[in-house]
Chains A and B, each alone.
Chain A
Amino acid sequence: MLVYILRRLLLWIPAVFLVLLGVYALAFYGAGDPIKLIFLRSPGDVAFDPARIEAIRESAGLNQPFLVQFWNYIWNVLHGNFGNSLLSGRSVWRSISAAAPVSMQIGLLAIAITALVAIPLGVLAALRQNTALDYAILGTALFLWAVPPYVAGPLLMVLLLVVFPQADMSYGWGGLLDARIILPLLVISFHPIALIVRQTRAAVIEVLSEDFVRTARAKGLPAHKIVLRHVLRPVLTPVVTQLGLIMITLVNGAIFVELVFGLPGLGRLTIQSLLNSDYPIILAVTLIASVLVMVSNLLVDLAYPLLDPRAAARRST
């Protein structure tokens, strides 16, 4: 058990480090000289004086080797300093901490909705396997999975406009208790719901054919008790392992949904920075999102032995 946890951590830390290095290297070599980028933006501010540029470069530590700069960046990030935006000069951390709560609240609520909607639907589909209900649930899930959020969002808006021409348009941000949150929340939950419905259904079908379920049936246990006591627990393991994937669909979804519905979250911040080539912000958001997904994966790995000791023993070898 301890060996398993140590193994996971030992593989995890270099993985995070490599991802940080890769993303930083891309931005470092691709973005070009940050000083020039700043000067290109505000040519009138400072005379284009090579000596002066060199002085700024020297004082900002920008003529040091790549690895030294990378190390400085990581060191600053660990102290909450993500540098400054190229466009506004504002601290990147301040932009991010202003935008993050919006995305976080929506993301957490979407995870809750997914768990509450998708797991029961998946169980229901499996229990009514190959009936019209099963096909309806499965077909809907397939449909939700296939339609990207930037298509579902606008189409739902058009639909809303056609059905309720007088409706207050679902655009903007007013907190979680505002009615305008409903449509974006729905759209961002589509992919995770589709994923978990299919995963749950497959897992339940597999468990239903196990001997212990047959025993429970044979001893006359009512169906709801069989599901609650014997089926649900082993089903949770494969479903929980999808957490990392859910995080990725939520990050992707946030980018589109915030753009379509005009929400001031991390997704919109990313796209605005992308359009302005504001690398410090893109870099910071990418690093945070990657670490978030990797932490989720690590949590899943660490929770594994608690959920299913057999699988953990297999995975650690």
Chain B
Amino acid sequence: MTTEPLAKAANPPTATGTAQAVMPPVAEEQASLWGDAWARLRANRIAMAGLLVIVVFLVLAVAGPYLTPYDFLSQDLAARNQPPGWAHWLGTDELGRDVLSRIVYGARTALIVALVVTAISVAIGAVLGAVSGYFGGAVDGTIMWITDLFMSVPNLLLVIVVNTSLKPPLARWLDSLYAATQNPFFRSTSIIDFTLVFGSIALVSWPPYARLVRAQVLSIRQRPYVLAGRALGLPPGRIIRRYVIPNAIGPLIVAVSAGLGAAMTMESAFSFLGIGVQPPTPSWGLMIADGLRTWQQYPHLLAAPAATLAIITVAFSFVGDGLNDALNPKGAK
């Protein structure tokens, strides 16, 4: 394989000099699962392009507010609906707000939602999947039956029902909390929006993780190295740490990579439908929905956020595919 030398270069065995780095036995020992995977990923140009896009997205989401020349809320009514130009690279919207700045701030919303939603759904999925795969029998049957139930309700409709149903009670509850504590934290409506967005997207996102983790646990339990470990009398904790987790985590990482993109898409879908984060919190979905109203006069107001969302989601799925090939060399043909 042509990627082998890359793996060694990526993991120099010692820092003392290049003479030692070319000594084969030492380098051989250092070639790890992650080193190999990274080398394979680096050889995949499409995946690396996707990774570059994601890194830029992360930088913008974290440092964006310090980079953009305009605040996402600052209105310039003298410069409304400007086409893209030097002063405003992506133009301005109907209130004279800089579109590029709003997209950069929207990246923050997208990133927060993607991270929180994926963390919640992976946690639920991993626990249920591991319990299901480990215990088997009736426990497995019940958990998987419930998982299938969740997968057979159209996810967007479920999200809509959950969102509309839980919003009034949640708002009442927060009101009562505010009345009791006088803490201004409970008065912010963004708390309700974000809680609902996190909760309802996670609610429809966990089933694939549960299935994946269950399948992993089932197959790894039967592998010879686990049986050997058991035969040698290793404690279960050690078997799980040293053998089960490292072998199960590859497919999970692939799923998480795709899941991050999917959660972001869901968030914008929500905002697009008007049930996600509410203005003035910037969100790409909101911008698309706004742009859709005036797209015949000002196509850039629609094209800019739509293209951004498209590029990011494509990047995540390219990286996911690349990771799949990199972490499962056996599956790659």
B314 at the interface (CB under 8 A from A): yes
Task: Give the Cβ gap from A123 to chain B, nearest Cβ, in Å.
Answer: 16
> Which residues of A258-287 are within 8 A (CB) of B?
259-260, 270-271, 274-275, 277, 279, 282-283, 285-286
Contacts of B296 in A (CB 8 A): 161, 169
Contacts of A196 in B (CB 8 A): none
Contacts of A142 in B (CB 8 A): 314, 317-318, 321
Chain A 162-201, CB within 8 Å of chain B: the 1/0 string?
1000000100000000000000000000000000000000
Task: Give the Cβ gap from A103 to chain B, nearest Cβ, in Å.
Answer: 12
In angstroms, Cα B164 to Cα A150, docked, is 21
Q: Which of B90-98, B101-109, B146-154 binds A? A: B146-154
Known: A29-B169, A148-B313, A282-B161. A294 touches B145 (CB 8 A): no
Contacts of B155 in A (CB 8 A): 248, 252
Contact A146 B317 (CB under 8 A): yes
> Which residues of B217-238 are within 8 A (CB) of A?
none
In angstroms, Cα B307 to Cα A4, docked, is 48
In angstroms, Cα B158 to Cα A289, docked, is 10
In angstroms, Cα B168 to Cα A139, docked, is 44
Of chain A, the residue at the smallest CB distance from B163 is A274
Contact B166 A30 (CB under 8 A): yes
Chain B 139-176, CB within 8 Å of chain A: the 1/0 string?
00000010011011111111011101111110000000
A151 at the interface (CB under 8 A from B): yes
In angstroms, Cα B309 to Cα A205, docked, is 32
Task: Give the Cβ gap from A4 to chain B, nearest Cβ, in Å.
Answer: 16
A18 at the interface (CB under 8 A from B): yes
Contacts of B310 in A (CB 8 A): 146-147, 151-152, 155
Of chain A, the residue at the smallest CB distance from B269 is A148
Chain A 294-308, CB within 8 Å of chain B: the 1/0 string?
100100000000000
For chain A, give the interface size range: 35 or more
Contact B302 A293 (CB under 8 A): no
Contacts of B169 in A (CB 8 A): 29-30
Contact A252 B153 (CB under 8 A): no
Q: Which of B35-43, B70-78, B271-279 binds A? A: B271-279
Contacts of B166 in A (CB 8 A): 26, 30
Contact B153 A155 (CB under 8 A): no
Contact A158 B160 (CB under 8 A): no
> Which residues of A107-142 are within 8 A (CB) of B?
129-130, 139, 142
A93 at the interface (CB under 8 A from B): no
A92 at the interface (CB under 8 A from B): no
How many B residues, CB 8 Å from partner? 49
Contact B313 A146 (CB under 8 A): yes
B333 at the interface (CB under 8 A from A): yes
Contacts of B206 in A (CB 8 A): none
Contact B291 A154 (CB under 8 A): yes
Chain B 297-333, CB within 8 Å of chain A: the 1/0 string?
0010011001101100110111001000000000001
Known: A26-B162, A157-B295, A256-B269. A151 touches B309 (CB 8 A): yes
B288 at the interface (CB under 8 A from A): yes
> Which residues of B106-161 are within 8 A (CB) of A?
145, 148-149, 151-158, 160-161
Task: Give the Cβ gap from B308 to chain A, nearest Cβ, in Å.
Answer: 9
B252 at the interface (CB under 8 A from A): no
Q: Out of A15, A259, A283, which one reaches B149, CB within 8 Å?
A: A15
Task: Give the Cβ gap from B237 to chain A, nearest Cβ, in Å.
Answer: 32
A145 at the interface (CB under 8 A from B): yes
B292 at the interface (CB under 8 A from A): yes
Contacts of A282 in B (CB 8 A): 160-161, 164
Contact B152 A161 (CB under 8 A): no
In angstroms, Cα B45 to Cα A216, docked, is 37
Of chain A, the residue at the smallest CB distance from B157 is A286
In angstroms, Cα B268 to Cα A146, docked, is 13
Q: List 28 A-B contacts (CB under 8 A).
A: A19-B152, A27-B161, A30-B168, A31-B168, A142-B314, A142-B318, A146-B313, A148-B268, A150-B272, A150-B288, A151-B309, A154-B303, A155-B306, A161-B296, A162-B299, A251-B156, A252-B155, A252-B156, A255-B157, A270-B157, A274-B160, A274-B273, A282-B160, A286-B154, A290-B154, A293-B152, A293-B154, A294-B152
Residues of chain B at the chain A interface (Cβ within 8 Å): 46, 145, 148-149, 151-158, 160-162, 164-169, 261, 265, 268-269, 272-275, 285, 288, 291-292, 295-296, 299, 302-303, 306-307, 309-310, 313-314, 316-318, 321, 333
Kindly list 15 other residue pairs between chains A and B, CB separation below 8 angstroms, not including A26-B165, A290-B157. Answer: A11-B145, A15-B149, A19-B152, A27-B161, A29-B165, A29-B169, A30-B167, A30-B168, A142-B321, A143-B314, A155-B306, A158-B295, A247-B154, A259-B273, A286-B158
Residues of chain A at the chain B interface (Cβ within 8 Å): 11, 15, 18-19, 23, 26-27, 29-32, 129-130, 139, 142-143, 145-148, 150-152, 154-155, 157-158, 161-162, 169, 205, 244, 247-248, 251-252, 255-256, 259-260, 270-271, 274-275, 277, 279, 282-283, 285-286, 289-290, 293-294, 297
